[in-house]
Amino acid sequence: MAFDEHRVDLSGGPLTYRVAGEGPPVIHMHGASGFRETAALAALAGSFRIYAPVAPGFDDTPTHADLASMEALARLDAEFADAVIGETTDVVGHSFGGWRAAWYTVLHPERVGQLVLECPSGFREDGDGGLPSDAAELQRRLYAHPEKAPPETKPEPVLSRNRQTPAQFHGGKAMDEALVERLGEIEALTLILHGTRDGVVPASGARLLKSRIPRSFLIYVYDAAHAIEVDQPEFFVGLVTDFFARGEAFLVNPGVGGRAA
Amino acid sequence: MKFNYFHLMPWTDIEEVDQDWPVANKRFVPDRATALYETYIDTMVYAEECGFDWIGCNEHHFSPYGLMSNCNLIGTVLIQRTERARIAMFGNLVPLLNPIRVAEEYAMLDVMSGGRLIAGFMRGIPHEYVAYNVAPSESWERLEEASELILKAWTEPEPFGWEGKHYKYRAVSIWPRPIQQPHPPILMSASSPESARFAARHRAKMGMVMLTDLDAAKDCIRIYKETAREHGWEPALDDILIGAHTCVAEDDEEARRHLGGGLDYFYHVLFGGPRTAQRLVIQKTRFYEDEANRRNIGTRLAALRGTTIEERVDRGLVLCGTPDRVVEQIRHLKAELGHGVMNINMKIGNIPNAVVRRSMTLWGEHVAPAVRDL
């Protein structure tokens, strides 16, 4: 399912976003490499209407003046949601997008139904993990199955700029202490996904989130590295769809017929 | 050197060769089994008194050659009746079982024993896959995923779920957790190059429960050590366990007569049915992924069946004879293989229990003191 590109003018400037699918609205927040139309995201659009706002500066989009923190980005996301969607949505954030989604949920709880944090960065104890400059090592940390990764279509200047952009929001810090302090405020039912072979965000980060977010579930996705959507798309889609559909009842095995009761 | 006392708990009341799989249980006599379990458990408890450091349990299904279909049950009895010996599990056959259940039961054993568990993560031998209706070709990937899941269940302080190819759980938080931290030592089989590599990758102790060929054993140990180093760790002496069928007696001839008879009974009577299933699995599935390995295993097992007790003694594959002779044989093996743990199996086939007991006593009085410091 192809994503259409749109643009909306917000108070700080224009914001590019992608849309696909029909169903309950879900905001998807991309990782540090910008928006990627993965097979998993396309499959998710089979059940939901996916809105994917591109953080200003990524994918050759214009930056906004004074947009220099994760909190400011979350406020922009709220403005986007009000302008384009106009109702509470479920939210999925991957890596940098998970960090962004967590701030969005802390600052704008009324706009979030359920939250999925897929290998969120910003919770790297002692600076472990991260995105190395060596290309081979980066691939190893990102993918358990690099053969499943879609071919790169973005030109090198865009990729290069994407690599620089996250630091404009988070200043390059590995652990967002201010956010950690506020994780307890998240009331949304939250699913934390972590790849068992993730080389970018250590498992301690996922564990920290689980211990701080009151109504949260942590699931390890086996044989997946940081890019769970790429390594194990069926697991990812199945988990997210089931979580959004059944809420906390997704803990209960629905049986062969698909109904728990 | 450390020593493990291993017991298969065989059923010894049948005489005819049975090649069918599974072996019909119509000849099983429950009252007789009650007495056998009592004898066998007493024997295993006695091992501690005879100087054994570990007592080994195992898991086998649908066959008279081993009545221990759940090693954790026997382990529970042993920890109540022993004080210092480690309980080494040569089960659980992890790919066939619910890994969370394995994690829980091992944690219980570890806590109840005060931290004496050596946790086996075993793949099992071919016929077990027929018994539990699990595809043999999935054995490695099931073992890989289940092992990781069990370790996670033992070490994860927060409730977690697991989304995998073979196992899916939405919320896991086991009670109790193990007493040994970060987790009990892991023991894996390493009787082939591929299993030796697997054990080393998982930082497990390697076990060759039964020697079939000295050169093959050396090769597996070398592969295990090399793989361990590639993965950033150095195996300790007691990470390498080598097993031998053993009979200690007052004279060499008596020991050979008992061990030879027991081995004949084991291979030709007790193992007939399992061999049928084993042949099917090896021929028709990818249980052994590597073709050369598959051929080697088949050839080696067939050759072993036809080997006389004299040949086994001469080739250094068994420990058999007077205490002095057995001490020599252990020294020879140690010099050849450089291992730190010996797996001693004395109840081979239908060797009488009194003979086994005498063998253990001789071990405790004469053999153990002489080889302890090797």
Q: Per this entry, what is the length of chain A?
A: 261
Residue A213 covered by a domain: yes
Residue A30 covered by a domain: yes
Question: Residue type for B163, please?
Answer: E
Residues of A in contact with B161 (CB under 8 A): 217-220
Average pLDDT over every residue of B128-154: 95
Q: Which residue of A has its CA nearest to B157?
A: A207
Question: Residue type for A252, please?
Answer: V
Per domain, the residue ranges of chain B are 2-371
Q: What tens digit of pLDDT does each residue of A152-184 get? A: 899 999 999 999 999 999 999 999 999 999 999
Residue A255 covered by a domain: no
pLDDT at B268 over 90: no
pLDDT given for residue B298 in this prediction: 66
Mean predicted lDDT score pLDDT of chain B: 93
Cβ separation B159–A210 shorter than 8 A? yes
Residue A256 covered by a domain: no
Q: HSE of B101 in the Cβ direction (CA atoms, 13 Å)?
A: 10
Mean predicted lDDT score pLDDT of chain A: 94
From the list B229, B239, B309, the residue with the least C-alpha distance to B267 is B309
Cβ separation A235–B158 shorter than 8 A? no
pLDDT at B205 over 50: yes
| Residue B286 pLDDT level (bands cut at 50, 70, 90) | confident
| Residue B16 pLDDT level (bands cut at 50, 70, 90) | confident
Return left, alpha or beta for A51; rule: phi > 0 is left, psi -120 to 50 is alpha, else beta: beta
Helices (H), chain B: 30-49, 71-81, 99-112, 126-131, 139-155, 193-201, 214-230, 252-265, 272-284, 291-305, 309-314, 323-337, 353-362, 368-371
pLDDT at A259 over 60: no
pLDDT at B297 over 80: no
Residue A19 covered by a domain: yes
- Is B182 at the interface with chain A, CB within 8 A? no
pLDDT at B294 over 70: no
- CATH code where residue A72 lies: 3.40.50.1820
- Is B98 at the interface with chain A, CB within 8 A? no
Task: Identify whether the C-beta of residue A98 lies closer than 8 Å to the C-beta of residue A120.
Answer: yes
pLDDT at B250 over 50: yes
pLDDT given for residue B300 in this prediction: 67
pLDDT at B283 over 90: no
pLDDT given for residue A261 in this prediction: 43
Average pLDDT over every residue of B9-19: 85
pLDDT given for residue B2 in this prediction: 97
Chosen from B166, B170, B172, B202 to mutate, greatest number of chain A CBs within 10 A? B170
Cβ separation A218–B149 shorter than 8 A? no
> How many Å lie between the alpha carbon of A7 and the closest alpha carbon of chain B?
37
**What number is the ipTM of this complex?**
0.95
- Where is pLDDT greater, at B202 or A128? B202
Residue A209 covered by a domain: yes
| Residue A258 pLDDT level (bands cut at 50, 70, 90) | low
> How many Å lie between the alpha carbon of B165 and the closest alpha carbon of chain A?
8
Question: Residue type for A198, please?
Answer: D
Q: What tens digit of pLDDT does each residue of B28-39 get? A: 999 999 999 999
Residue A258 covered by a domain: no
Of the candidates B149, B152, B163, the beta carbon closest to that of A221 is on: B163
pLDDT at B112 over 80: yes
- Is A221 at the interface with chain B, CB within 8 A? yes
Q: What tens digit of pLDDT does each residue of A105-146 get? A: 999 999 999 999 999 999 998 888 888 888 899 899 999 999
Cβ separation A222–B148 shorter than 8 A? yes
Chosen from B163, B168, B202 to mutate, greatest number of chain A CBs within 10 A? B163
Average pLDDT over every residue of B167-187: 97
Q: What is the DSSP string of B88-150?
A: EES--BGGGS-HHHHHHHHHHHHHHTTS-EEEE-B---HHHHHHTT--GGGHHHHHHHHHHHH
Q: What is the pTM of this model?
A: 0.94
| Residue B147 pLDDT level (bands cut at 50, 70, 90) | very high
Cβ separation B163–A220 shorter than 8 A? yes
**Structural tokens at position B249:** 């007696």
| Number of domain units in chain A | 1
Q: What tens digit of pLDDT does each residue of B310-319 get? A: 999 999 999 9
- Where in the sequence is the domain holding A221, given as residue range(s)? 4-249
> How many Å lie between the alpha carbon of A217 and the closest alpha carbon of chain B?
7
**Structural tokens at position A214:** 């009151």
Q: Per this entry, what is the length of chain B?
A: 374
Contacts of B217 (CB under 8 A, 6+ apart): B208, B211, B242, B337
Residue A196 covered by a domain: yes
Of the candidates B161, B164, B167, the beta carbon closest to that of A217 is on: B161
Average pLDDT over every residue of A67-89: 96
Interface of B with A in 148-177 (CB under 8 A): 148-149, 152, 156-165, 167, 170-171
Cβ separation A218–B161 shorter than 8 A? yes
**Structural tokens at position A114:** 């359920």
CATH number of B2-371: 3.20.20.30
pLDDT given for residue A260 in this prediction: 44
Cβ separation B163–A222 shorter than 8 A? yes
pLDDT at B296 over 90: no
